[in-house]
A and B are shown apart, each in its own frame.
Chain A
Amino acid sequence: MIGLQIGKTVFRAPEVEQPEAPEETILSTKKLSFWYGEKRALDGISMEIPVRQVTAIIGPSGCGKSTYLRCFNRMNELIPGSNFDGAVEYRGRDINDGRVDPVSIRRQIGMVFQKPNPFPKSIYDNIVFGAKVNGMSADMDELVETSLRKAALWDEVKNDLKQSGLALSGGQQQRLCIARALAVEPEVILMDEPCSALDPIATTRIEDLIRTLRETYTIVIVTHNMQQAARVSDKTAFFTVGESGGGELVEFDDTQRLFTTPSDPRTEAYITGRFG
């Protein structure tokens, strides 16, 4: 019996292999490479992200996890001198196609950042910001309430929606940012180390939230915390820095299998803490 313990979470390899239903892919990259100027950050990454599941990306610092994530909503093109090769597809469509509007991509594919970044505006205005810039004609009061409820923040702030988003605690700010992302009704939410600036209690709340959101949304989460990846994700990708100096994909599998029976010795070394 193969078992592996990470912190307090004990994984066991499934005793019986269950027949798997074919998964629907929502996002994929094909031989995606990326450069910041001369510096290579990604090296030929091909990966398929399943719909309505949580996909975690783990790997040592500087291996290109954030870069990879930001390719999905074309945030990287805001960086002068950056360059890419290969394809990023959203529902089978190349998002870097000249006819695709990055603004509409970002409306379908939301993002939550490492450092909570609420706008210096009221909670209410933070939530309706996306709806307003996208010209959505929803009932704004209702949108604010449903978004805050989905992000499990409503009960804490419902009495004072006019207070500044900056007046909230770090964990609340991050949930506000999640609520803000949910308010534009995206299909996918990209999260770049959403808990790294938070204390353990706030982290638990965000993790609970991710598990709830999984029912309706596709989530791709970058994390440094392997227990977190194990706790919240269905699939896990392990990146490392390759010989070219750019990040490459070592292994991508069901989370449970990757943590219990990694097929690559580098993955095993990383998850057992001997590397990175």
Chain B
Amino acid sequence: MSEMTEAPRRGGVEALGDLTSRGPARKRRAIFERAIQAVLFACAAISILTTFGIVATLLGETIQFLRQVSIVDFLTGTRWTPLFASKHFGVLPLVNGTIAVAFVAMVVALPVGILTAIFLSEYAPTRFRSVLKPILEVLAGIPTVVYGYFALLFITPILREIFPQTGIFNVASAGIVMGFMILPMMASISEDALRAVPSGLREGAYALGATKYQTVTRVVVPGALSGILAAVILSISRAIGETMIVAIAAGLQPKMGFNLLQSMETMTAYIVQVSLGDTPQDTIEFQTIFAVGTLLFLMTFVMNVVSDWLVRRFREAYE
């Protein structure tokens, strides 16, 4: 009895013997595998370490800054004059300018982006989409400095024609062009979200007698809402971080208020202004850019985390 059960097992071990290899060839392969792994790890480590390095520098200089200026004054003050004799370190005018430009950008990018996405995903014939999508991607590839000059030399004159009180540098012009710049991203992410809505849901709506318009507005768009919301947040985050357009077209005057036809300075434009200027290092003036940079980083970081969370939640809903 026991012999009978043992016999096939011995055969099994023998068969396995053919599959195991020993000796130098195997050792060489193992070393090779480990070397590859090490190289890949090093590459991944570089990007992580760089990020940590940047964040550490930002925080270090910001702490230096906050030793001299109270954090309350910094976050709630409404006058920003660190480069003048009478220094005030209230960051709100820069935040005001940043939000004003981002607001105008979103007024352009949000409706046009979502409607473009709906058109591409639900209405456009396949051939049309295969033409329009690459065009949108080209739009995303234009260097932002080009957008900046487009705002200054093309949009601003038109605005001045319509509203004569418009300044040479103004929020509206920079914001409108920034909206165009963000548009492809907005449209592309929203389109992905719309297309991820299972076609079974569309069929379900049609089968109940819904028209195409009803299907799109009552099933597809609501179904893609968290994905679209993620696109909106990511776009805002991009608008807040955008530098070149505002530095060229929105001006360098830190101002509070809602007048979009006047010049305002954004957080990014201020950082550029100081970095490129002759402000000596290790002075409080120079440290301000790190404080502003940290604030900017925190704002976009939070938004990216939220949008990431929304995208993941959206994906789960349809798995």
Contacts and interface: CB of A to CB of B under 8 A. Distances in A.
Interface of A: 73, 75, 78, 80, 103-104, 106-107, 110-111, 113, 115, 117-121, 129-130, 133-134, 166, 177, 180-181, 184
Contacts of A104: 209
Contact of A181 (B198, B203, B207, B218): B207
B211 interface: yes
A209 to B, nearest CB: 18
Given A120-B223, A180-B204, 19 more contacts: A73-B207, A75-B203, A103-B210, A103-B211, A106-B207, A113-B200, A113-B204, A115-B200, A118-B204, A119-B201, A119-B219, A129-B218, A130-B210, A133-B208, A133-B209, A133-B218, A166-B317, A181-B208, A184-B208
B83 to A, nearest CB: 53
Contacts of B219: 119
Nearest to A109: B207
A141 to B, nearest CB: 19
20 contacts: A73-B207, A75-B207, A103-B210, A103-B211, A106-B206, A113-B203, A113-B207, A117-B200, A117-B204, A119-B219, A119-B223, A120-B201, A120-B223, A129-B218, A133-B205, A133-B209, A133-B218, A134-B209, A181-B207, A181-B208
B279 interface: no
Contact of B206 (A75, A166, A177, A184): A75
Nearest to A190: B207
Contacts, number: 66
Q: Which 6 A-B pairs have the closest CB atoms?
A: A130-B208, A117-B200, A107-B209, A111-B207, A117-B204, A133-B210
Interface in B195-230: 198, 200-201, 203-211, 214, 218-219, 222-223
A202 B211 CA distance: 32
Contact of B208 (A78, A106, A166): A106
B126 interface: yes
Given A117-B198, A166-B317, A133 B223 contact: no
Contacts of B223: 119-120
A137 to B, nearest CB: 15
Contact of A117 (B126, B201, B210): B201
Contacts of A133: 205, 208-211, 214, 218
Most central of B125, B201, B208 by chain A CB within 10 Å: B208
A185 to B, nearest CB: 11
A110 B210 CA distance: 12
A58 to B, nearest CB: 22
Interface of B: 125-126, 198, 200-201, 203-211, 214, 218-219, 222-223, 317
A211 B310 CA distance: 43
A110 B24 CA distance: 69
Contacts of B209: 103-104, 106-107, 130, 133-134, 184
Contacts of B211: 103, 133
A75 to B, nearest CB: 7
B206 A180 contact: no
A120 B222 contact: yes
A78 B201 contact: no
A180 B125 CA distance: 31
B204 A177 contact: yes
Contacts of B207: 73, 75, 106, 110-111, 113, 181
Contact of B204 (A73, A78, A80, A119): A119
A168 B210 CA distance: 24
Most chain A beta carbons < 10 A, residue from B203, B207, B210, B219: B207
Contacts of B210: 103, 129-130, 133
A110 to B, nearest CB: 7
A186 B240 CA distance: 53
A125 B210 CA distance: 14
A115 B318 CA distance: 13
Nearest to B208: A130
B177 to A, nearest CB: 37
B194 to A, nearest CB: 13
A129 B205 contact: yes
Contact of A80 (B126, B200, B205): B126
B200 A110 contact: no
B210 to A, nearest CB: 4
Nearest to A74: B206
A121 B200 contact: no
A103 B209 CA distance: 5
Nearest to A111: B207
A120 B208 contact: no
Contacts of A121: 222
